Structure 1
Amino acid sequence: MSVVVTTPTGHVGSRVVRLLIQAGVRPRVLVRDPARLGEATRERVEVRRGDLTDAGFVRDAVAGARSVFWVDPTPHTAADPVETSLRTAAPLVEAARAGDVGRVVMLSSIGAEKRHGVGHIDALAGIEERLDATRVDVLHLRCAYFFTNLLLDLEGLAQGVLTTAFDPGHPMPWVDPRDIGDVVAARLLSEAWRGRVVQAVHGPEDLTFHQVAQILTEALGRPVRLNPVSDDAVRDTLRAAGLPPSAVEGLVGMAAGSRGLVPEQPRDLLTTTPTSLSGWAHARLRPLLEG
């Protein structure tokens, strides 16, 4: 079984690589810096060193693979994030259209089903549509809001403040990226699915940001208060940081376009994963804030 894994050192990709190795698969990993894999991992994978924004590298690296796990590497701060994401995925789409790739498991997001109006998530919708048009077997994993997004504002949390532009009272799915990795690995190893498949990964429960603040208060052993901010306030902050207009709107749009969103797939046995935010915060977040 030939499996290609992109972003193998990320929150999801690193879990996928580990599980594939434990299952007896030697995955082909596409990575800019092999040293970040760790020596034990490097010995058990096929390393292709290069940049996912290099079309020639991606086209050659995925050719002949039975399955490809695709994670868009485009930072939200890119000058034109949607266009960059679509351009970066183009070599994979070309390989799929040419029959050089058998299956694709794509890390997508809740909100991609809207197809437009959800900021940088619009790019994932576009990649979904392009892969669908190739007629290869493709699985779109529509993932919930990552627990690890909380790591982006450790300074604020250290001061007891959880800032968000999302609707603070709207319940939304939250998920541990490790649990997403479990789902990805299971799907990559399975030969049972065919055609176009969409699977949401909702985490264990829907939470409002008010509930998240309370969970963090208990898990961290310190008060955490919620600080809701407006879209315009976010725009002002991002512009002051020097981000280009398209990046600003790509970031603002993800929160604005998600307000009131009801995911396309309901919560059920297939879409629900086990790790709680409370347990994750106590194990992962609390040590970082106490260190």
Structure 2
Amino acid sequence: MIVITTPTGLIGHQVLNNLLNSDEQIRVIVRDPSRLSPRERERVEVVQGSHGDLDVVSRAFAGADSVFWVVPPDPHAESVEAAYVDFSRLACDAFKRQGVKRVVGVSAFGRGAAVSGNAGYVTASLAMDDLIASTGVSYRALTMPTFMDNLLRQVESIKNQGMFFDMLSGDLKQPTCATCDIATVAARLLLDHTWSGVESVPVLGPEDLSYNDMAQIMSEVLGRPVRFQQITSEAMKATLTGFGMSDAMAQGMVDMIAAYDQGLATAEPRTPESTTPTSFRQWCEEVLRPAILA
């Protein structure tokens, strides 16, 4: 039995789709089952509710061999620790009580980097990993850089202004990965019943690119000029709080990006095992361009 959290989310729904043709029993935790496709509802067992609820996770993890764990976004959380670590506590209790064998979780890279202790969401993700590992389950933390798919949040400015924005230097080359590749790695681990222990599994995409590199690729794929504009930390935080994010969560985002600029972005060495196939150009052709044209 495999349990999928966030099965309608950006990564979770792709993991679920990758598992539908397998022989495994699949159970999902979902607040709104109507958001599942008819095929998904027919194929899976549904536990309705939040995976931050003790009763829900207790029922969902009963008899489960493996769990795909994703902390849902909580822009209004009182702190990054509350959003990641505190949210995960009840599930960790249920991992132990229900005898879950393996957990695959979405996390962030940077463990051991000099700036990782003050890196906002990254610091909280690593603390969540430690909490999960402390339960005694076998754990694989998928440790990722920035997602290519995060650029979809700026579709309107790319489409209407030919610009996208971030705090990072436009010349800083860094890894970036497509969520479809994260889902592929996660599904492979969930279907493999042979691994044990606690390890990190970096998912770094195929190449390191700067935002200026990405702007050039976007321009070529979209057939229109696109440029990157660096903004200050103050402007970034004001934008986030203007969208309704709590001060603490906005500061966590700013701290994470600042840590990337101070060396965290290249802290994970690239290996053949951590290199995944979807290039930024391919992602632009298959995901960004259709979103711009929609």
Superposed structure 1 runs of 4+ greater than 4 Å apart: 112-115, 262-265
* Deviation of 1:264 (Å): 5.2
Determine the structure 2 residue equivalent to 1:173. Answer: 175
Q: Which whole-Å CA distance do the structure 2 matches of 1:217 and 1:264 have between them?
A: 29
Q: Which whole-Å CA distance do the structure 2 matches of 1:241 and 1:15 have between them?
A: 27
1:270 aligns with 2:273: yes
**Partner amino acid, structure 1, of 2:131:** R
Determine the structure 2 residue equivalent to 1:56. Answer: 55
Call closer, same or farther: CA 1:242–1:181 in 2, change over 3 Å: closer
* Deviation of 1:236 (Å): 2.8
- Corresponding residue to 2:205 among 179, 203, 206: 203
Q: Which whole-Å CA distance do the structure 1 matches of 2:4 and 2:60 have between them?
A: 10
Q: State the TM-score, normalizing by the size of structure 1.
A: 0.93
Q: Which whole-Å CA distance do the structure 2 matches of 1:24 and 1:263 have between them?
A: 39
Q: Which whole-Å CA distance do the structure 1 matches of 2:105 and 2:266 have between them?
A: 17
Q: Which whole-Å CA distance do the structure 1 matches of 2:267 and 2:128 have between them?
A: 18
Q: Is the 8 A contact 2:175 2:208 kept in 1?
A: yes
Q: Is the 8 A contact 1:20 1:26 kept in 2?
A: no
Q: Which whole-Å CA distance do the structure 2 matches of 1:186 and 1:240 have between them?
A: 39
Q: Structure 1: where are the runs of 5+ without partners? A: none
Q: State the TM-score, normalizing by the size of structure 2.
A: 0.92
Determine the structure 1 residue equivalent to 2:71. Answer: 72
Q: Is the 8 A contact 2:206 2:275 kept in 1?
A: yes
1:216-255 superposed matches below 5 A: 216-255=218-257
* Deviation of 1:99 (Å): 5.5
Q: Which whole-Å CA distance do the structure 2 matches of 1:210 and 1:238 have between them?
A: 23
Q: Which whole-Å CA distance do the structure 1 matches of 2:199 and 2:270 have between them?
A: 16
Determine the structure 2 residue equivalent to 1:155. Answer: 156
* CA deviation string 1:184-237 (max 9, x = no partner): 010111123210111100011111111111111111111001100111221233
Call closer, same or farther: CA 1:244–1:9 in 2, change over 3 Å: closer
**Partner amino acid, structure 1, of 2:136:** R
Q: Structure 2: where are the runs of 5+ without partners? A: none
1:128 aligns with 2:120: no
The SS at the match of 2:186 is helix
Q: Is the 8 A contact 2:51 2:91 kept in 1?
A: no
Q: What is the percent sequence identity of the aligned residues? A: 35
The SS at the match of 1:78 is coil
Call closer, same or farther: CA 1:262–1:245 in 2, change over 3 Å: closer
Q: Is the 8 A contact 1:32 1:51 kept in 2?
A: yes
Q: Is the 8 A contact 2:76 2:244 kept in 1?
A: no
* CA deviation string 1:230-252 (max 9, x = no partner): 11221233344453321221121
